[in-house]
Amino acid sequence: MNAQIKELQPAERFLAMIRGNRLPLMVAPMFLVSGPDLAIAAEKSGVIGSFPAPNARDVPALRQWMVRIRDEIAAGSWALNMIVHRSYERFDQELALVEEFRPPIVATALGSPRRVMDAVHGYGGIVMADVTTPTLARKAVDAGVDVLVLVTHGAGGHTGTCHPFALLHEVRQFWPGPLGLAGAISCGRDIRAAQVLGADFAVMGTRFIATVESLAGEGYRDMLVASGIEDLVASAEISGVMANWLKGSIQKNGEAAPAASKKTEIDFSGNISVAPKAWKDVWSAGHGVGGITRVQSVMEVVDQLQEQYLACLADEASFLKAMTSQGAG
Ligand SMILES: Cc1cc2nc3c(=O)[nH]c(=O)nc-3n(C[C@H](O)[C@H](O)[C@H](O)COP(=O)(O)O)c2cc1C
């Protein structure tokens, strides 16, 4: 990070980071999918990388991952995703690692970002929070977050249920700061569309699961390549929170597709790196899954996204030219 950027406030620093990157894009943290390889490849491809702390088997393994990331990308564009839910037993040990290794961004999930605020701001880091409703967005703002990510209908993993247009417009009424949009964003045009709606950046998860650098197994990757939006089911029954799942992975385990309404209790107590059935055997994907046509490297995906994004900007420029010349005539 250059000295000038370091002087800025966290929110300004985040926007400067996005503008200095190749695309306004963050590769989302994904349980059992993103580890250091994916985070480092994303950062080296010119976008923000991330991984969820619980993906490391235990705290010593997480420490090794943090050492590797510090050595390879230092204070580049990357985020550590932390579970801040009260039942998550590794929280205090992970926070101690955060204070030691100082990830430039800490992205919180499943609880209030308040729990990390002092520690992360204490070393000049940026706090980002995922939210799915205006109420949760207001709570995160009140807690002092620097960056909000709106997780909307059709997102992979724990999905939102709000329409992206509506949620973005409502949150923009009270949040002028850095704002990301997540949910079924799968090509360069979608990234531009997120900006047109008023977001500062896009967050993409599903599109990066079938990459060489992800932790996803071959069966999961193959199913993503073969699947489209109609191959998904949304249910709160599998992990306790509403999420989108690949129907084929449910059937593969000999089970019937779940009912969307039934809920179980969230519980992160115990060793969650011994993966529960959900995520390990029952696989998640977002509505943008149809955009995955083969397994690629992260760099190839980002190259393709950039090409599509630039083509979209060129179309906008010629559309604007045509509109203004018509007006002049
Ligand atoms: C398999 C999978 C696992 C996920 N795990 C996490 C997680 O551990 N923490 C988190 O904050 N978000 C998680 N997410 C949600 C993503 O951060 C992001 O919001 C989502 O992938 C965006 O939607 P998209 O997949 O349609 O691009 C996960 C998503 C997927 C697909």
240-270 confidence digits (pLDDT tens): 889 999 999 998 877 666 655 455 555 555 5
Q: What per-residue confidence (pLDDT) applies to 1?
A: 54
Q: What per-residue confidence (pLDDT) applies to 240?
A: 85
Mutate which of 27, 30, 85 for ligand 1 pocket (most atoms within 8 A of beta carbon): 30
Q: What per-residue confidence (pLDDT) applies to 329?
A: 54
**Cα(39)–Cα(86) distance, integer angstroms:** 26
- 301 C-alpha to ligand 1 centroid (Å): 17
Q: Which atom of ligand 1 is nearest to the CA of 182?
A: 22
Pocket of ligand 1 (CB under 6 A): 28-31, 33, 52, 81, 109, 130, 151, 155-157, 182-185, 203-206, 284-286, 288
Q: Which atom of ligand 1 is nearest to the CA of 207?
A: 27
- 183 C-alpha to ligand 1 centroid (Å): 9
User: All domains of the chain, ordered by start, with CATH?
Assistant: 3-217+287-328 (3.20.20.70), 225-274 (no CATH)
- 21 C-alpha to ligand 1 centroid (Å): 21
Q: What per-residue confidence (pLDDT) applies to 167?
A: 98
For residue 152, give the nearest of 174, 135, 172, 130 by alpha carbon.
Answer: 130
pLDDT mean values, one per 10 residues, the chain (329 residues): 67 96 98 97 98 97 96 91 93 97 94 94 96 96 97 96 98 98 98 98 98 97 98 91 94 68 54 61 96 97 98 96 79
Distant-in-sequence, close-in-space partners of 168: CB < 8 Å, separation ≥ 6:
150, 179, 181, 197, 198, 199
- Write the residue with the smallest CA distance to atom 29 of ligand 1: 157
Residue with tokens 């995955």: 292
